C-alpha cells in the first residue's frame, strides 16, 4: 500500500480555502478521508485543523518565524533530491520538532524544518508554514471536521462529538470512527491524566429564572470566586489541571497533599474551585490566587503565604467508571461518598426562590461571587455551555435617593410604585434607573405616604419629590446609557432595603457608580481563564 502524499493534503487545503460552502467543504474532506490508509487519518485530521497534537497536549513546536524564513531563503525547495513528503512523515517530523527541548534544540528543530521544506514544492511549503504557525485559515474548525469525519465514516455526528468531548483527541476519534465505526466511538472512555474540557454555565438573573428554567427545582451551590481545577488521581499519583487544561500540579503542592490525604485512592476525576483565603478565612482577591497558579519557583513558600481552600462540586470518574452520562444528582451522591463534607461546595436543593435568595445573600456576605443553579437530572457535557448550569452572579448594591415615583397600575394601582433612583453628582440628584421591584404590599403603602409628603410637583403619572428618602438597590450590571443625565443605567435594579437610617447625603455619588462600572471589568477581563 502506498502512503498518501502530503501534496494531496496541501492541494485539499487549497481547495478548502477556495470553497466557501460548508457542505462542499465537508464533502471534500470526507472524500479525502475515505481515500486514506489506516494510520493516516489521525495525523491528516489534525494537520487540516492546523495542529499537530490534541488540544490538551501542552507541547508546542516553538519555532520562530526567523528560523523558517532563514530556511526558506536558504535556497530550499531543490527538485534534485526531492523525496516525496507523506502525511505521516510531515506529522512525524513536526512531532519531533516539538519533542526537541533544551540545549542544542534550536539547531535540531531548524534541521528538521529544513528537512521538510527542502522536499516541499511551493504549495506544500505554503501549507507547511501555515501548520507550523498554527494558522491554517482554510475555514475548517473542529465542528466542521467532526461532521466530515461522521460523513466519511457513516456514523452519526453526535457519536463523533461525544467521543471528542470525552477524549479530547480529535485525531484518535477520527481514526476510531473510520476503523471501528459507531460502536468503537461509543466505547471510547476518558483517560486518567488527560483532562476533559469543563462544562460551562449560562447566566440567570435571579433564582426565580433558574427555577423556571429547571422545571421548578434546582440544586443551588455557592459560586466561589476562584479558579476551577480538575483533579485526576490514581493511587498515589495526583495531577491537577486548570480550566484551560494545563497541568498546574507543580504550583499546587498543598492541593495535591490534601487530595492525597482525604480522597480514597481509586481512579477518580474530581472538579472543584480553589479559592485563596486570607487570615480570617475570607476569600482573597482574584489576583492573589493567580499568583499561586503561575508560580514555578518558591512554590512551598507561596503555598504558606497564600493558602488555598478547595470546594469540590462534581465527580466525572470514580472507581474507573465514567460518570458524565449519569444525572448530576447521582454524581453528587457519589461525590459525597468520596470526599469529606468540608471539601464540598455549599449546596441546597430547593424549589423555594426565597430560600435560594437568602442563600445568595449569605454567599455574597461571605465574600463569594454568587450561586450556581444546577438541573438535577442533567448530564455532564464537556466543553459546552448550556442551561443545565446557570450562574447567578453577585448583585452589587447602591444607596440611592428617590427623586420621583410613578403611580402604579393593575395590582399596584393607587400606590406610588415605579421609583426613579438617583445618585449625587454636582449637588444634583441624577437618575440612574427605575424600579418597582423588591417591596412588599405594606412597604408600597408606606412608601406612597412617605413620598407624598415629599412631593414638589406632579404630572399625569409622575410625582416629583424632594430627594430625601434613601433606599438600597441591588442590580446585576451598570451600563452606560444616554437615557439618563447621569450617563449610566442600572440593569435589573430592585430595592433590597429602605434605609430610613440614612440621611440623604449618605446616598452614593456618581463617582461611586463610575468606580463600580470600572470594576465590572475585573470580571470581564477574567473571562478567558
Ligand atoms: P464563569 O467563569 O463566570 O463562566 O462561571 C463559571 C465558573 O464558576 C466555573 O468555571 C467555575 O470556575 C466557577 N465555579 C465556582 N463555584 C462553582 C460551582 N459550585 N459549580 C460550578 N462552577 C463553579
pLDDT tens for each residue of 314-343: 999 998 899 999 999 999 999 999 999 999
Beta strand extents in 338-445 (DSSP E only): 347-350, 370-374, 385-393, 396-407, 416-425, 428-435
Residue nearest to atom 4 of ligand 1 (CA): 201
3-state secondary structure of 9: helix
Q: Is the backbone of residue 345 left (phi > 0), alpha (psi -120 to 50) or beta?
A: beta
Question: Are residues 220 and 288 part of one domain?
Answer: yes
Question: Are residues 425 and 357 part of one domain?
Answer: no
Q: Pairing relation of β-strands 200-203 and 385-393?
A: parallel
> In 10 A of CB 523, how many CB atoms?
14
Cell numbers linked to 79: 527538485
The helix (H) or strand (E) run that includes residue 139 is: none
C-alpha torsion angle, residues 340, 342, 348, 354 (rounded to 10): 170
Q: What is the pLDDT of residues 234-291, one digit of tens each?
A: 999 999 999 888 899 999 999 999 999 999 888 999 999 999 888 777 787 666 787 7
Cα–Cα distance for residue pair 146/144, rounded to 1 Å? 5
CATH code of the domain covering residue 155: 1.10.3260.10
Residue nearest to atom 22 of ligand 1 (CA): 223
372 lines ligand 1 (CB under 6 A): yes
- The answer, yes or no, to whether residue 199 has pLDDT greater than 90, is yes
pTM: 0.71
Question: Are residues 35 and 85 part of one domain?
Answer: yes
How many angstroms is it from 524 CA to the middle of ligand 1? 14
Cα–Cα distance for residue pair 416/290, rounded to 1 Å? 48
313 lines ligand 1 (CB under 6 A): yes
User: Picking from 218-227, 400-409, 447-456, 500-509, which range would have the lowest pLDDT averaged per residue?
Assistant: 500-509
| Structural domain ending residue among the three candidates 362, 392, 422 | 392
3-state secondary structure of 259: helix
Which atom of ligand 1 lies nearest, measured to the CA of 389?
21
CATH code of the domain covering residue 322: 3.30.470.30
Place of cell 424632594: 466
For the residues 134-159, what does the mean pLDDT come to? Answer: 94
Residue nearest to atom 18 of ligand 1 (CA): 223
Residue nearest to atom 12 of ligand 1 (CA): 228
Q: Which of 196, 197, 224, 243 to mutate to test the pocket of ligand 1 (most atoms within 8 A of CB)?
A: 224
201 lines ligand 1 (CB under 6 A): yes
Q: Which pLDDT score, from 0 to 100, does residue 380 have? A: 96
Which atom of ligand 1 lies nearest, measured to the CA of 369?
15
Residue nearest to atom 11 of ligand 1 (CA): 228
Residue 291 lies in a domain: yes
Cα–Cα distance for residue pair 106/481, rounded to 1 Å? 54
How many angstroms is it from 134 CA to the middle of ligand 1? 30
| Structural domain ending residue among the three candidates 359, 392, 425 | 392
Residue 322 lies in a domain: yes
Which atom of ligand 1 lies nearest, measured to the CA of 391?
5
Minimal CA–CA distance to 313: which of 162, 199, 420?
A: 199
Residue 41 lies in a domain: yes
How many angstroms is it from 287 CA to the middle of ligand 1? 17
276 lines ligand 1 (CB under 6 A): no
Cα–Cα distance for residue pair 111/311, rounded to 1 Å? 48
Question: Are residues 403 and 368 part of one domain?
Answer: no
Using only C-alpha atoms, the chain has a radius of gyration, in whole angstroms, of 29
Angle at the Cα of 130 (from 127 to 131), degrees rounded to 5?
A: 90
Q: What is the pLDDT of residues 38-63, one digit of tens each?
A: 899 999 999 999 999 998 888 888 88
Q: Which pLDDT score, from 0 to 100, does residue 525 have? A: 34
Q: Is 526 or 408 the better-scoring residue by pLDDT?
A: 408
Number of domains in the chain: 3
Residue nearest to atom 2 of ligand 1 (CA): 527
Encode 344-382: b = buried (16+ Cβ within 10 Å), e = exposed.
Answer: bbbbeebeebeebbebbeebbeebbbbbbbbbbebebbb
Cell numbers linked to 251: 504550583
Question: Are residues 172 and 29 part of one domain?
Answer: yes
Facing residues of 228 across strands? Answer: 273
Minimal CA–CA distance to 161: which of 175, 150, 172?
A: 150
Cell numbers linked to 268: 477518580
Separation in Å, CA 450 to CA 289, 409, 429, 441: 47, 19, 18, 14
Phi, psi of 490 (to 5 degrees): -85, 135
| Structural domain ending residue among the three candidates 351, 370, 392 | 392
* Mean of per-residue pLDDT scores for the chain: 90
391 lines ligand 1 (CB under 6 A): yes
DSSP code, position 471: E
Q: Which pLDDT score, from 0 to 100, does residue 334 have? A: 98
Which atom of ligand 1 lies nearest, measured to the CA of 221?
19
Compute CA 82 distance to the chain's CA centroid, rounded to the nearest angstrom: 47
How many angstroms is it from 299 CA to the middle of ligand 1? 25
Beta carbons within 8 Å of 339's beta carbon, 6+ residues apart: 262, 263, 270, 312
Question: Are residues 163 and 116 part of one domain?
Answer: yes
Beta strand extents in 243-369 (DSSP E only): 268-276, 308-318, 321-322, 347-350
Q: Which pLDDT score, from 0 to 100, does residue 173 have? A: 97
Residue 191 lies in a domain: no
Residue 146 structural domain: 6-186
Q: Which pLDDT score, from 0 to 100, does residue 58 have? A: 80
Residue 195 lies in a domain: no
Cα–Cα distance for residue pair 194/188, rounded to 1 Å? 13
How many angstroms is it from 385 CA to the middle of ligand 1? 12
CATH code of the domain covering residue 423: 2.40.50.140
Question: Are residues 239 and 338 part of one domain?
Answer: yes
Q: What is the pLDDT of residues 67-110, one digit of tens each?
A: 888 888 876 555 555 678 999 999 999 999 999 998 989 889 98
**Widest distance between CA atoms in the chain:** 98
How many angstroms is it from 461 CA to the middle of ligand 1? 44
How many angstroms is it from 228 CA to the middle of ligand 1? 7
For the residues 152-178, what does the mean pLDDT come to? Answer: 95
Q: Which of 199, 221, 228, 388 to mutate to test the pocket of ligand 1 (most atoms within 8 A of CB)?
A: 228
Question: Are residues 387 and 401 part of one domain?
Answer: no
Beta carbons within 8 Å of 96's beta carbon, 6+ residues apart: 112
Residue 143 lies in a domain: yes
228 lines ligand 1 (CB under 6 A): yes
Residue 382 lies in a domain: yes
Residue nearest to atom 23 of ligand 1 (CA): 223
DSSP code, position 86: B
How many angstroms is it from 304 CA to the middle of ligand 1? 25
Beta strand extents in 43-141 (DSSP E only): none
How many angstroms is it from 387 CA to the middle of ligand 1? 13
Question: Are residues 467 and 344 part of one domain?
Answer: no
220 lines ligand 1 (CB under 6 A): no
Question: Are residues 39 and 175 part of one domain?
Answer: yes
User: Picking from 206-210, 289-293, 382-386, 461-465, which range would have the lowest pLDDT averaged per residue?
Assistant: 289-293
344 lines ligand 1 (CB under 6 A): no
Q: Which pLDDT score, from 0 to 100, does residue 281 have? A: 77
Residue 408 lies in a domain: yes
Question: Are residues 402 and 382 part of one domain?
Answer: no
Question: Are residues 157 and 291 part of one domain?
Answer: no
Q: Which pLDDT score, from 0 to 100, does residue 55 have? A: 84
- The answer, yes or no, to whether residue 8 has pLDDT greater than 60, is yes
Whether 455 is catalytic: no
Amino acid at each position: 500500500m502506498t502512503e498518501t502524499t502530503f501534496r494531496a493534503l496541501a492541494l485539499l487545503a487549497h481547495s478548502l480555502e477556495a470553497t466557501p460552502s460548508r457542505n462542499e467543504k465537508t464533502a471534500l474532506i470526507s472524500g479525502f478521508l475515505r481515500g486514506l490508509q489506516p494510520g493516516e487519518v489521525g495525523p491528516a485530521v489534525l494537520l487540516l485543523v492546523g495542529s499537530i497534537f490534541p488540544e490538551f497536549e501542552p507541547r508546542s513546536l516553538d519555532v520562530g518565524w526567523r528560523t523558517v524564513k532563514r530556511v526558506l531563503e536558504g535556497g530550499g525547495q531543490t527538485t534534485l533530491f526531492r523525496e516525496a513528503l507523506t502525511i505521516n512523515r510531515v506529522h512525524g517530523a513536526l512531532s519531533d520538532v516539538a519533542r526537541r527541548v533544551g540545549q542544542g534544540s534550536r539547531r535540531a528543530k531548524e534541521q528538521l524544518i529544513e528537512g521538510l521544506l527542502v522536499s516541499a514544492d511551493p504549495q506544500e511549503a505554503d501549507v507547511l508554514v501555515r501548520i507550523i504557525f498554527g494558522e491554517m485559515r482554510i475555514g475548517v474548525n473542529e465542528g466542521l471536521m467532526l461532521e466530515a469525519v461522521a460523513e466519511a465514516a457513516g456514523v452519526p455526528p453526535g457519536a463523533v462529538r461525544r467521543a471528542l468531548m470525552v477524549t479530547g483527541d480529535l485525531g484518535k476519534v477520527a481514526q476510531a470512527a473510520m476503523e471501528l465505526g459507531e460502536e468503537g466511538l461509543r466505547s471510547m472512555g476518558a483517560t486518567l491524566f488527560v483532562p476533559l474540557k469543563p462544562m460551562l454555565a449560562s447566566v440567570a438573573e435571579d433564582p426565580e429564572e433558574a427555577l423556571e428554567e429547571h422545571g421548578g427545582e434546582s440544586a443551588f451551590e455557592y459560586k466561589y470566586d476562584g479558579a476551577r481545577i480538575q483533579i485526576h488521581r490514581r493511587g498515589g499519583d495526583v495531577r491537577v489541571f486548570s480550566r484551560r487544561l494545563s497541568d498546574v500540579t507543580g504550583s499546587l503542592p498543598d492541593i495535591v497533599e490534601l487530595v492525597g490525604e482525604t480522597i480514597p485512592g481509586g481512579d477518580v476525576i474530581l472538579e472543584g474551585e480553589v479559592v485563596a483565603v486570607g487570615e480570617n478565612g475570607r476569600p482573597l482577591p482574584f489576583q492573589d490566587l493567580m499568583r499561586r497558579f503561575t508560580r514555578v519557583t518558591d512554590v512551598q513558600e507561596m503555598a504558606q503565604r497564600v493558602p488555598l481552600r478547595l470546594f469540590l462540586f462534581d465527580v466525572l470518574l470514580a472507581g474507573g467508571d465514567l460518570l458524565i452520562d449519569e444525572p448530576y444528582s447521582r454524581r453528587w451522591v457519589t461525590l459525597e461518598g468520596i470526599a469529606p463534607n468540608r471539601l464540598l461546595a455549599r449546596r441546597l436543593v430547593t424549589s423555594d426562590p426565597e430560600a435560594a435568595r437568602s442563600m445568595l445573600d449569605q454567599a455574597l456576605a461571605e465574600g463569594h461571587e454568587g450561586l450556581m443553579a444546577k438541573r438535577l437530572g442533567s448530564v455532564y457535557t464537556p466543553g459546552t455551555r448550556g442551561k443545565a448550569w446557570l450562574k447567578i452572579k453577585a448583585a452589587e448594591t447602591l444607596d440611592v435617593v428617590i427623586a420621583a415615583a410613578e403611580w402604579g397600575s393593575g395590582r399596584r394601582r393607587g400606590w406610588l410604585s415605579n421609583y426613579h433612583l438617583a445618585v449625587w453628582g454636582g449637588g444634583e440628584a441624577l437618575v440612574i434607573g427605575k424600579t418597582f421591584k423588591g417591596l412588599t404590599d405594606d412597604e408600597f403603602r408606606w412608601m406612597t405616604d412617605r413620598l407624598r409628603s415629599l412631593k414638589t410637583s406632579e404630572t399625569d403619572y409622575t410625582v416629583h419629590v424632594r430627594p430625601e428618602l434613601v433606599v438600597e438597590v441591588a442590580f446585576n450590571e451598570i451600563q452606560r446609557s444616554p437615557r439618563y443625565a447621569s450617563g449610566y443605567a442600572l440593569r435589573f435594579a430592585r430595592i433590597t432595603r429602605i434605609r430610613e437610617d440614612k440621611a440623604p447625603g449618605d446616598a452614593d455619588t456618581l463617582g461611586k457608580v463610575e468606580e463600580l462600572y470600572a470594576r465590572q471589568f475585573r470580571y470581564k477581563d477574567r473571562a478567558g481563564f
